[in-house]
């Protein structure tokens, strides 16, 4: 797959000697990918943008939370290369089956940055993710009807290119680990790492930012699409731990708040409330449960602007 260089790679990989979890703990600093405030989405966009440019795509349409990290980085790269960015957004989308979590958010850091970068956000009242997917498809149809070559980008950039980005990212590790723990939501970060380490002694565990147990089925579909695209293997099983979501997607958890303080006070590293705080809560608990082995890696995926979002 072609690549459009955006990130400062490799990101740092270092030990966490002061957090004291009773194991040899390491961190991969994808909060420091260096493009548009860092995070895991810059890696996916390197492969997505190269594809769009090669095919003359004029506009891309995605969806997500107003505070989406993906929309922020997509907005910036779209501006850089002259591709319009449109996004259907809700402040706190939810899964009807899991129920609507209590709370709302204001002062959304990523939303401010996405608008600053020129993205067109179509905000709807909070509702089910499926409704937002339908709005995204409609916006794309409208643009194409107006003669703009527009393409839908799956939520979070979770496409074969997104998976590929993390298969490539895995090659930056020059240490071996018993376990790698990463925040997981739309899935391509987790699927990419799981693909890279499949059949090795390293176990990849995703800590879910969403309450839906069915997400792993979507991961399998994504893996199949990646396998078809590259002629590689398609995985059907993923290690996804749903215990640390707290009240729901986009709403901070008590355990996540404790994890944020712990990592900040011991190592001077910030975590975001929506993904990485919950993932580090999972990392700490799994270390205590003895399932991480003796040497484990926490893959920090960024999300820094969400620290400036206020939740009530
Ligand atoms: C900061 C952060 N971490 C982790 C994730 C999860 O990555 P993925 O969507 O590839 O599962 C996301 C996005 O969803 C994110 O913005």
Q: What is the pLDDT of residues 36-59, one digit of tens each?
A: 999 999 999 999 999 999 999 999
pLDDT score of 134: 98
User: What are the residue boundaries of the structural domains of the chain, listed by start?
Assistant: 13-40+158-311, 41-156
Tell whether the model's pLDDT for residue 33 goes beyond 90. Answer: yes
User: By alpha-carbon position, which residue is closest to atom 9 of ligand 1?
Assistant: 186
Tell whether the model's pLDDT for residue 300 goes beyond 90. Answer: yes
- Convert the pLDDT of each residue in 17-29 to its tens digit: 999 999 999 999 9
User: By alpha-carbon position, which residue is closest to atom 16 of ligand 1?
Assistant: 69
User: Residue 127: which region, alpha, beta or left (left: phi > 0; alpha: psi -120 to 50)?
Assistant: beta
Q: Quick one: what percent of the chain has pLDDT higher than 90? A: 95
Mean pLDDT score, 204-228 = 97
Mean pLDDT score, 202-206 = 98
Q: How far is the CA of 69 from the centre of ligand 1 (A)?
A: 8
Mean pLDDT score, 223-231 = 96
Could you write out the DSSP letters of every residue in 45-95? HHHHHHHHHHHT--EEEEEEETT-HHHHHHHHHHHHHT-EEEEEEESS-B-
Question: Same CATH topology for 13-40+158-311 and 41-156?
Answer: yes
Tell whether the model's pLDDT for residue 135 goes beyond 90. Answer: yes
**Whether 68 is catalytic:** yes
Tell whether the model's pLDDT for residue 151 goes beyond 90. Answer: yes
Identified catalytic residue from 68, 114, 184, 306: 68
Q: How confident is the model at residue 310 (pLDDT cuts 50, 70, 90)?
A: confident
Q: Long-range contacts for 95-100 (Cβ within 8 Å, ≥24 apart)?
A: 95/128, 95/129, 95/210, 95/211, 95/212, 95/249, 96/128, 97/212, 98/210, 98/211, 98/212, 98/248, 99/248, 100/126, 100/248
| Full-model pTM | 0.97
Residues lining ligand 1, CB < 6 A?
39-40, 69-70, 156, 158, 183-190, 272, 275-276, 301-303
**Of 78-82, 87-91, 230-234, 299-303, which range is least confident?**
230-234
Architecture category of domain 13-40+158-311 in CATH: 3-Layer(aba) Sandwich (3.40)
Q: How far is the CA of 188 from the centre of ligand 1 (A)?
A: 8
Domain covering 41-156 assigned CATH 1.10.3210.10 in the classification: no
Q: How confident is the model at residue 105 (pLDDT cuts 50, 70, 90)?
A: confident
Q: Which atom of ligand 1 is nearest to the CA of 187?
A: 11
d(CA 11, CA 173): 10
């Amino acid at each position: 797959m072609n690549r459009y260089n955006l990130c400062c790679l490799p990101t740092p990989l270092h030990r966490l000697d002061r957090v004291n979890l009773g194991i040899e703990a390491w961190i991969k600093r994808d909060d420091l990918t260096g493009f548009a405030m860092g995070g895991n989405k810059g890696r996916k966009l390197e492969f997505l943008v190269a594809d769009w440019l090669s095919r003359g795509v004029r506009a891309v349409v995605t969806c997500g939370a107003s505070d989406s990290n993906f929309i922020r980085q997509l907005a910036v790269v779209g501006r850089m290369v002259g591709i319009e960015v449109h996004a259907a957004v809700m402040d706190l989308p939810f899964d009807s089956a899991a129920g609507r979590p209590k709370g709302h958010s204001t002062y959304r850091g990523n939303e401010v940055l996405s608008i600053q970068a020129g993205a067109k956000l179509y905000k709807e009242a909070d509702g089910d993710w499926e409704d937002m997917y339908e709005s995204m498809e409609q916006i794309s149809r409208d643009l194409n009807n107006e003669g703009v070559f527009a393409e839908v980008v799956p939520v979070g950039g979770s496409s074969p290119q997104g998976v590929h980005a993390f298969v490539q990212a895995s090659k930056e590790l020059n240490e071996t680990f018993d376990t790698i723990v990463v925040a997981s939501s739309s899935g391509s970060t987790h699927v990419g790492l799981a693909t890279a380490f499949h059949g090795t002694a390293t176990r990849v565990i995703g800590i879910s930012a969403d309450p839906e147990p069915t997400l792993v089925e979507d991961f399998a579909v994504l893996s199949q699409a990646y396998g078809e695209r590259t002629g590689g293997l398609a995985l059907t099983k993923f290690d996804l731990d749903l215990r640390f979501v707290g009240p729901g997607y986009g709403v901070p958890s008590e355990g996540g708040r404790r994890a944020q303080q712990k990592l900040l006070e011991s190592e001077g590293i910030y975590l975001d409330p929506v993904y990485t705080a919950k993932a580090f809560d999972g990392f700490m608990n799994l270390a205590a449960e003895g399932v991480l082995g003796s040497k484990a890696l926490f893959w920090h995926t960024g999300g820094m602007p969400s620290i400036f979002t206020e939740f009530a």
